Amino acid sequence: MAATLPMIAGALALGIPAAHAADSPARDALKGTKPAWATAKADKGATSDSAQVKARVYLAGRNASGLAAYAKAVSDPSSPSYGKYLSAKQAQARYGATAAQVKAVKSWLAASGLKVTDVTQHYIAVSGDVSAVEQAFGTQLHNYAKGSKTYRAPEKTASVPAAVSDAILTVTGLDSAPHKASHDDTLPPPDAVFKNAGPFSSYYGSKTATSLPSAYGSKIPYAIKGYTGKQLRAAYGAGKYTGKKVRVAITDAYASPTIAFDAGTYAKRNGDAAWKTSQLHQVLPNAYTRTGECSAAGWYGEETLDVEAVHAVAPAADVTYVGAASCYDDDLLDSLSKVVDNHLADIVSNSWGDVEANQTPDLAAAYDQVFQLGAVQGIGFYFSSGDNGDEVANTGTKQVDTPANSAWVTAVGGTSLAVGKGDKYQWETGWGTEKATLSDDGKSWTSFPGAFTSGAGGGTSKTVAEPFYQKGVVPNSLATANSATGNRVVPDISAIADPNTGFLVGQTQTFGDGSQQYSEYRIGGTSLAAPTIAAVQALAQEAAGGKALGFANPSIYSKFGKKGVFHDVTDNPTGKGLAVARIDFANGFDATAGLLTSVRSLGKDSSLSAVKGYDDVTGVGSPADGYVSSYKAQAHRKH
């Protein structure tokens, strides 16, 4: 991820986030600041000295290695420091940059001819021309071809004077891929309306497509209309817990102008508890940027899904939505930092990301520092693992998504979920969809089971070392897929994601006549799995007596193999192929342009497979009836 890379709605080893290697006696290199695509072959020559650059110099703080060590200790159930969290003020006092460090870095930047435009407890933002940037960071800036476009990047790894290197974590913004800034500060209206066509099943298998061809040797059910909170709470063992007195934050870009109305209307229509006064909060930036480039209105549905899913599963939890000014890394990092610096919540749901190949080590270090500062305060981050399976169909390269690849977050994978009559959990498969369409004569499915369309993101990282909590649980064949020493495998845990067994969401949308009206539709993706797991964690925190769960991965993995805690999700839970029939409006809204009939197979996730035990589609599995209550037992053991 370059410093300006947009995230899509939809890394380093445990230890010091970024290492400084000696460059010369006078300067220290900032590893990872030259992107891999800036090769000699792609070099198009020097960038103009007068071109303008905006960069962020991230501060290492006074004890980067100590921060990582304490973040690990406080998160590990086997550690004597487990659960001994710091306040935001204590974390800053112990690990933040000192006033002297900030002053020294500012003085050096100003002396290099750069203008300091912002100072926060995490970074110093600067702007200036290329010649000043080159002087400050000891590298020439060149233009490089990347795909069909040309971007600016350092010609060699950036460096800083040894006198300030201990104070600097990394610098972002020296490369410009991609950089299409616009300054439209008003949000657009909601996107055009989308509706699902019927017939539907009200629960899995309630309505069989008797008039359509068979699949896998039998008639198949219609896709469900969309599960509601009651069904998801039953599937994931909510019991009597509601998330009372637990705070959940949600980060996305932008902000839906109708979120309060939509969330309230949805809860009332679908049997969820009514929102109480001051139960939903928003923390928003002063202005928005890049609304066109980031398709701002498309993020409204993401926010709406996240807010409604959290409330459906944890109806008493307090929800704070933190909107970023754009879909770019710097702005999303600012949103995460707001949560940590002000301890807005203990649980943070994040349904956005990009592919690992687009991540650069400078950004990985900045993200990991925020995650570690959260961990020492008892704040856990949950990231969707992606919606394109192994990413080969999407990018041509097998890879995982980021920031879900960070060793300091809980990566949430996806399943296809069958909830039967009486809200009874039947089974789950890994989410992976192959789609075939109805033949012209209506008697068969064309090229059944069809092509892969979408599935839960997962696999083995190429850049992040295997974290301690995965050892002994993740099969060696997965951990060592890219390196003999072992790497991080994604995801950690999973929940409902398949849009064909998805969640019903309610949102104000723009209709054909230009009016804006509330409407409901079925939705899925690991964008649904992340807030669902965040909500389940809110239930678990309530079960633990309100004690924050913090960075949950060490605890989650310690429960692996314990009876009744996880559903062990596999791709073939019934012993025969599974699929649903789906009818869609050709125009996405009504039948005037005709209907499209297709069969969607379940459990067909690109090259990834959900198998017995840990796997790279569903992680340790999904929460079973004993998951939430296991935290009650854990709390009793600790106290």
DSSP 13-74: -SS-SS-EEE-SSSEEEETT-S-TT--TTTEEEEPPTT-EEEEEEEE--S-HHHHHHHHHHH
Q: Tens digit of pLDDT for each residue in 61-112?
A: 999 999 999 999 999 999 999 999 999 999 999 999 999 999 999 999 999 9
pLDDT class of 186 with cuts at 50, 70, 90: low
Residue 11 has pLDDT above 90, yes or no: no
Tell me what pLDDT residue 315 has. Answer: 98
Specify the 3-state DSSP secondary structure of 456. coil
* Global pTM value: 0.93
Q: Supply 99's token pair.
A: 């006033």
- Ramachandran region of residue 594, left (φ > 0), alpha (ψ -120 to 50) or beta? left
Place of tokens 């159930």: 77
Give the CATH number of domain 229-638; options: 3.30.230.70, 2.30.30.100, 3.40.50.10860, 3.40.50.200.
3.40.50.200
**For residue range 250-276, what is the model confidence (pLDDT) as tens digits?**
999 999 999 999 999 999 999 999 999
Summarize pLDDT for 575-597 with one digit per residue, the tens: 999 999 999 999 999 999 999 99
Amino acid found at 403: P
Strand, helix or coil at 219? coil
Tell me, what's the pLDDT at 637? 53
- Domain residue spans in the chain? 8-61+97-172, 229-638
Q: Which of the four pLDDT bands, split at 50, 70 and 90, describes residue 191?
A: confident
Measured distance CA(409)–CA(533) in Å, rounded: 13
pLDDT at res. 190: 83
Query: Chain-wide mean pLDDT for the chain?
Result: 92
Cis peptide before 154 (omega within 30 of 0): no
CA-based nearest residue to 332, from 9, 41, 625: 9
DSSP 8-state secondary structure symbol assigned to residue 358: G
pLDDT of residue 628 exceeding 70, the answer is yes
| Residue-wise pLDDT tens digits, 604-624 | 999 999 999 999 999 999 999
Alpha helices in 96-241 (DSSP H): 99-111, 130-137, 162-165, 229-235
Work out the number of other CB atoms within 10 angstroms of the CB of residue 371. 23
Q: Are 263 and 307 in contact (CB under 8 A)?
A: yes
Q: How confident is the model at residue 358 (pLDDT cuts 50, 70, 90)?
A: confident
pLDDT for res 179: 35
Q: What is the percent of the chain where pLDDT is above 90?
A: 89
Are the CB atoms for 67 and 349 separated by under 8 Å?
A: no
Name the H helices within 258-360.
259-269, 296-313, 329-341
